[in-house]
């Protein structure tokens, strides 16, 4: 579950938001049709959830399911189709009103109960056998919805109950960005075109483009400069709120060939358990594109590399001080023989609502 944002202005002091304001902004962003259209239209996402639920139908049939952050209710409907006896579809935003209509349209109102409230404030009549949720944000942890899944697990899930998906993994790799390279080189071509030398703009352009924002863009396979390096794994059956406040890991990889590193690319997978082969929803640049795309973290300057140049470091993901639903990423890294560099990235905090 991810939303789009508007680029923030640099250099302005950000005010820390209280939790109620954070929650209002978050839930309000899901009141418009656009984000739900984007998520449902993401066939990789929606079909994988559908298959993941149906592959676990033996654990769902005749059982009670809690859908955390139900949105339009599509996952609740999948669970009902898989034979659930009862589904509690919890959704705090006004899209819950549409979920009620969708449930009724599909004649599932006897099975699915839509609860318009925050997960942390509800009371259920019973413990649940299964929790399903599409909680993932950009770079996995943006929006902090995993916190609600953990809360639901600890309060409402029966011992030995099922969580769908049950595991999440985070990956990183260095990338080349020919678009950025072209934009930076552009200023050196102006003189030949117009007779005016604007090459001094290159440094300014670099600071503007290779900034501290977490940029969400699709990355092509050809731009990835090493094998993926997994740096963190979250088991949703055991992970704690304290652990998700600081998800960190180390990485080490070797470059494929001669190129320039402009950025690091971060992505995630989530896994649905199965009696047969586990089902994986991947946001990797090596797999079909999803609405999550990839999180791109630009270096201050491009670094030239050769075959087998080592890239290593440590990465940590944690909530922003200004808005705890927003994510920050800190990377300490070294490339080849260069000294270690550090850079902290954050999500631009104004959302873009496409009407």
Q: How confident is the model at residue 9 (pLDDT cuts 50, 70, 90)?
A: very low
Q: How confident is the model at residue 33 (pLDDT cuts 50, 70, 90)?
A: confident
* Residue 143 placed within a domain: no
DSSP 3-state of 163: strand
- Comparing C-alpha atoms, which of 176, 330, 334 is closest to residue 260? 176
Which region among 7-21, 129-143, 144-158, 261-275 has the lowest average model confidence (pLDDT)? 7-21
**pLDDT, mean over the chain:** 91
Q: How confident is the model at residue 348 (pLDDT cuts 50, 70, 90)?
A: confident
- Comparing C-alpha atoms, which of 160, 23, 157 is closest to residue 92? 23
Total number of domains constituting the chain: 2
**The pLDDT value given to residue 29:** 62
The predicted-structure confidence for 165-188, as pLDDT tens digits, reads as follows 999 999 999 999 999 999 999 999
- Structure tokens that stand for 31 in this block: 């009141």
Say whether both 310 and 202 belong to one domain.
Answer: yes
CA atoms within 13 A on the CB side of 229: 23
Say whether both 47 and 103 belong to one domain.
Answer: yes
**The pLDDT value given to residue 336:** 96
If you average pLDDT over residues 139-151, what whole number do you get? 94
Q: How confident is the model at residue 16 (pLDDT cuts 50, 70, 90)?
A: low
pLDDT at 257 over 70: yes
Residue recorded with tokens 């033996």: 58
Q: Is 143 a catalytic residue?
A: yes
* Residue 9 placed within a domain: no
- Choose the catalytic residue: 143, 181, 321, 353: 143
CA distances (Å), origin 300, targets 207, 225, 263: 7, 18, 9
CATH number of 263's domain: 2.70.160.11
CATH number of 114's domain: 3.40.50.150
H or E element at residue 162: strand 157-164
pLDDT at 10 over 50: no
The predicted-structure confidence for 133-143, as pLDDT tens digits, reads as follows 999 999 999 98
- Comparing C-alpha atoms, which of 13, 69, 23, 7 is closest to residue 325? 23
pLDDT at 296 over 90: yes
Say whether both 183 and 300 belong to one domain.
Answer: yes
CA dihedral 232, 131, 39, 76 (to 10 degrees): 170
CB 329 within 8 A of CB 213: no
The distance in angstroms from the start CA to the end CA of the chain is 18
Q: Is 134 a catalytic residue?
A: yes
**The pLDDT value given to residue 5:** 40
The predicted-structure confidence for 64-102, as pLDDT tens digits, reads as follows 999 999 999 999 999 999 999 999 999 999 999 999 999
What percent of the chain has a predicted confidence (pLDDT) above 90? 84
- Choose the catalytic residue: 22, 120, 126, 134: 134
pTM greater than 0.85 (yes/no): yes
CA distances (Å), origin 262, targets 6, 210, 218: 23, 8, 15
Residue 353 CB burial class (10 angstroms; 0-12, 13-18, ≥19): middle
Q: Which domain holds residue 183?
A: 169-352
Say whether both 61 and 203 belong to one domain.
Answer: no
Say whether both 40 and 120 belong to one domain.
Answer: yes
């Amino acid at each position: 579950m991810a939303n789009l944002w508007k680029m923030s202005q640099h250099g302005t002091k950000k005010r820390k938001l209280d939790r109620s304001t954070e929650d209002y902004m978050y839930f309000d962003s899901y009141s418009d049709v656009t984000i739900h259209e984007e998520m449902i239209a993401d066939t990789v996402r929606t079909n994988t959830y559908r298959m993941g639920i149906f592959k676990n139908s033996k654990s769902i049939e005749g059982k009670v399911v809690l859908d955390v952050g139900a949105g339009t209710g599509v996952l609740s409907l999948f669970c009902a189709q898989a034979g659930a006896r009862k589904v509690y579809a919890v959704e705090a935003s006004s899209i819950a009103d549409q979920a009620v209509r969708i449930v009724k349209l599909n004649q599932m109102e006897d099975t699915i109960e839509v609860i318009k409230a925050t997960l942390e404030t509800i009371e259920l009549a019973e413990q649940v056998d299964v929790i399903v949720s599409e909680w993932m944000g950009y770079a996995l942890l943006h929006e902090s919805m995993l916190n609600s899944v953990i809360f639901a697990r600890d309060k409402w899930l029966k011992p030995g109950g099922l969580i769908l998906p049950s595991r999440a993994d985070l990956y990183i790799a260095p990338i080349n960005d020919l678009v950025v390279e072209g934009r930076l080189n552009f200023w050196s071509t102006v003189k030949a075109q117009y007779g005016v030398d604007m090459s001094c703009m290159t440094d300014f352009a670099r600071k503007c483009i290779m900034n501290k924002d977490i940029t969400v863009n699709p990355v092509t396979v050809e731009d990835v400069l090493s094998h993926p390096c997994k740096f963190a794994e979250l088991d949703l059956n055991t992970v704690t709120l304290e652990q998700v406040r600081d998800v960190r890991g180390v990485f080490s990889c070797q470059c494929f060939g001669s190129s320039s590193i402009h950025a690091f690319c971060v992505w995630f997978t989530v896994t649905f358990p199965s009696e047969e082969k586990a089902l994986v929803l991947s946001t990797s640049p090596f797999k079909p594109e999803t609405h999550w795309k990839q999180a791109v973290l630009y270096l201050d300057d491009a670094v030239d590399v050769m075959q087998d140049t080592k890239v290593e470091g440590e990465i940590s993901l944690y909530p922003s001080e200004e808005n705890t639903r927003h994510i920050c990423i800190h990377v300490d890294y070294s490339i080849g023989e260069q000294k270690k560099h550090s850079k902290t990235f954050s999500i631009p905090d104004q959302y873009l609502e496409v009407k």
